[in-house]
Structure 1
Amino acid sequence: MEKSKVYFTNMRTTPTMNLQQKLTKLMKTAGMGDIDFENKYTAIKIHFGEPGNLAYLRPNYAKTVVDFIRAQGGKPFLTDCNTLYVGGRKNALDHLDSAYENGFSPFSTGCHVIIADGLKGTDDVEVPVTGGEYITNAKIGRAVMDADVVISLTHFKGHEATGFGGTFKNLGMGCGSRAGKMEMHSAGKPYVEQENCIGCGMCTRICAHDAAVVTDGKATIDHDKCVGCGRCIGICPKDAVCPASDESNLILNKKIVEYTKAIIDGRPNFHINIVVDVSPYCDCHAENDAPIVPNIGMFASFDPVAIDQACADAVNSQPVLENSLLAECCHEGHDHFGTIFPETDWTTTISHAKKLGMGNPEYELIEI
């Protein structure tokens, strides 16, 4: 198999070439302009950052991508889906507030923000996964599936469950609705935290299988009837319905890959990873720890497998920064992510994606 092309530019600038101009040059050289954007709705999948976290990508990067797509005649929008956990992005209203607070407004980025799975995270589409081992139909935010083109704009960083968060994490987990996120995180079925339940009955109304019942002012879920769709999680006004969150990290990675396959199959797609502020934890945290390695640069490719492999290789080749979580760990070998999170194995993502024919981990790195 021929090596995939991954394009790279570092973070150095000159008086005549700033970082946004370098990103534009990277996209052009990598062939993103070859996509037919004319009058095409284009979803730019990005993480808006949990309030309190400062490691997420600056909105200036998003504006550069938006301007590039508009120049090609496209109709871009920034998007993400609601979170499964309680935080600043669990419903569309809070999510939009968080995005605006962190600088992602139509005025700063040049396009609108659409929360893809709707107000409560229940507006999704079931998308078949060709060749999936764990997922038959992925539950993807409707606005993502309504788009004609998908662009991933990813902050590449560490992750406590998947090893690192790259293109696959940004797309697969990020575009899953709340029910989809539950499917990826859980081997079991949801349950009700009784102390938080107010007995409103919303879960009983949304359940198509009569699994949720309210007795003596408290809801319970009959797991013999429950099919694990997760819609009760999205509808609960008090976040009393919780996912099992008991899936192994290995299978979690594979499910994320299969969700990504559902998203990009049959549509033009392109991927940009920006490897700066490489925090050990996901941008979903309401805080960010010190970066574990120096800033590296920006990567772009049509191949999601190759770009994540290239970024992982780039991070693992870097020296460890003092006063970081990585520096505190007993470091053996050259896997920075495995050192911080020894119970994870990020290579599972790469190998499973290759197995499903999504790309090639063998790549040619072209520096511009």
Structure 2
Amino acid sequence: MEKESKVFFTDFRVTQDGGIEAKLKKLCRKAGIEQIDFYGKFTAIKIHFGEDGNLSFLRPDYARAVAELVRELGGKPFLTDCNTLYPGYRKNALDHLDCAQKHGFSPATTGCQIIIGDGLKGTDEIDVPVVNGEYCTKAHIGRAVMDADIFISLSHFKGHEATGFGGAIKNIGMGCGSRAGKMDQHSSGKPEVNQDACKGCRLCAKECGSDAITYKNKKAFINQEICKGCGRCIGACNFDAIYNPNGSANQELDCKMAEYTQAVCYGRPCFHINIIRDVSPWCDCHAFNDAPLIPNLGMAASFDPVALDQACSDLCNQATRFDNTQITDNAGRGLKLTKDLWNDSSPESVWNMTLVHGEKIGLGTRKYILEKF
């Protein structure tokens, strides 16, 4: 591996016919996507279709641009994502496809088919060895993802309540995991409830992915035997009553995501694209999106997912912050703000561990050269 990886970046300024779609194609070509032999090859484009109610997911236009480029290069593209662990509109393939179509993703709008990677019920998976894995010896990955000859990640780069930010590694590692794979990654920690702080609002129970939350004396109680450790309840609580007693849980989650990404990408041609816009502090898996933390910055691409996420994280940290965001709320609750955007937004995250561990296992390097145009 080279000492530094190249990351190519362009902003959203356009003064030419074709607009952002043409500029995205140009970005991919400058980043070297034509080095991949696409001719006749099945090409998975991993994207997040957005939970119903969320409006910050990537528009179908970005997927269409990438799919058109793959076709121009001779490939056979398809869009893919795997089913969710928690209740919602993407918990099985039928609901998932309905949600995708509601958000504008269809063969007519994107120029390619949609295949839910882990099948109807989230059980169509392949156990893939994790090269250099320290937390996982194998990863449970959606079968269609691994059947593809070439893999492209098209990621909405944004904040995340558990991992600090979500970019290429989050989109690949967590997103390509089957339901069993998602459980495997989330199994390091299970939240508990501070009974004194709980207001009995029941928002946490609505978000629970395993019906593990009941109420006794108008206070939430989490059944540890049923809980999957997904952490959705932590993000749902407006009173900081739910916490993770395992201080290493988020760190282990970050490391496992990097190892799952290694499993998906190892040994086949891969290319990665991050779109830095609508940088909400929350994952697109929620049925809402909070106000963005920073302005829309641009698009970046690289063969190296670690370098790509590191570069995009640095660009976000250098950006001017908006007022009236989750960070403003955290400051109002007494959190001492720093120059770390992700820590100020999600103080419980250990976001850099995804990158540190990814580099350690050979997924990529944190050292990069940023090429702007």
1:184 alignment counterpart: 185
> Alpha-carbon deviation of 1:345?
1.2
3-state SS of the aligned residue for 1:78? strand
Q: After the TM superposition, which residues 58-69 of structure 1 pair with which residues of structure 2 at under 5 Å, given as runs?
A: 58-69=59-70
CA gap 1:342/1:13 in 2 versus in 1, 3 angstroms: same
Kept in 1: contact 2:188–2:253 (CA 8 A): no
Pairwise mapping of residues 99-138 of structure 1 onto structure 2 (< 5 A)? 99-138=100-139
One-letter amino acid matched to 2:118: D
Mapping for residues 45-56 of structure 1, pairs under 5 Å: 45-56=46-57
Shift of residue 242 of structure 1?
Answer: 5.2
Whole-angstrom distance in 1 between the partners of 2:90 and 2:32:
33
**What is the distance in 2 between the residues matched to 1:73 and 1:255?**
34
Q: State TM-score, norm by structure 1.
A: 0.85
Match of 1:362 in 2: 367
Deviations 1:283-308 (A, max 9, x none): 00000111110000000000101000
Q: 1:194 and 1:86 mapped to 2: Cα distance?
A: 12
User: Which residue of structure 1 lines up, in the alignment, with residue 77 of structure 2?
Assistant: 76
Q: Matched residues in 1 for 2:69 and 2:227: separation?
A: 41
Q: Give me the whole-angstrom Cα distance separating, in 2, the residues matched to 1:294 and 1:195.
A: 37
After TM superposition, the structure 1 = structure 2 runs for residues 1-368 of structure 1, keeping only pairs within 5 Å, are 2-16=3-17, 18-187=19-188, 193=211, 243-245=228-230, 248-330=249-331, 332-368=337-373
SS in 1 for 2:34: helix
Supply the distance in 1 between the matched residues of 2:15 and 2:213 (Cα, whole angstroms).
Answer: 58
CA contact (8 A) 2:160 2:283 kept: yes
Q: Once the two structures are superposed, what CA deviation does each residue of 1:13-61 show, in whole Å capped at 9, x if it has no partner?
A: 1144611111011011110111111110000000000010000000000
Report SS of the residue matched to 2:152. strand
Secondary structure in 2 matching 1:329: helix
Deviations 1:126-151 (A, max 9, x none): 00111111111100000001000000
TM-score by length of 2: 0.84
Q: Distance in 2 between matches of 1:297 and 1:71?
A: 24
Letter in 2 for 1:329: N
Give the Å deviation of 1:192.
7.3
Letter in 2 for 1:355: K
- The 1:357–1:11 alpha-carbon spacing in structure 2 relative to 1, beyond 3 Å, is same
Q: CA deviation at 1:325?
A: 1.7
d(CA) in 1 for partners of 2:269, 2:20: 26
Q: Which runs of 5+ in 2 are unaligned?
A: 191-208, 215-224, 231-243
Whole-angstrom distance in 1 between the partners of 2:110 and 2:318: 33
Match of 1:220 in 2: none
1:79 match: secondary structure: strand
Residue correspondences, number? 325
- Residue 194 and residue 6 in structure 1: after superposition, are their counterparts in 2 closer, same or farther (change >3 A)? closer
- Structure-2 separation of matches of 1:75 and 1:192: 37
Alignment partners' CA distance in 2, 1:339 and 1:363:
25
Alpha-carbon separation, structure 2, partners of 1:329 and 1:5: 35
Contact kept in structure 2, 1:292 and 1:327, CA below 8 Å: no
The RMSD of aligned alpha carbons is 2.0
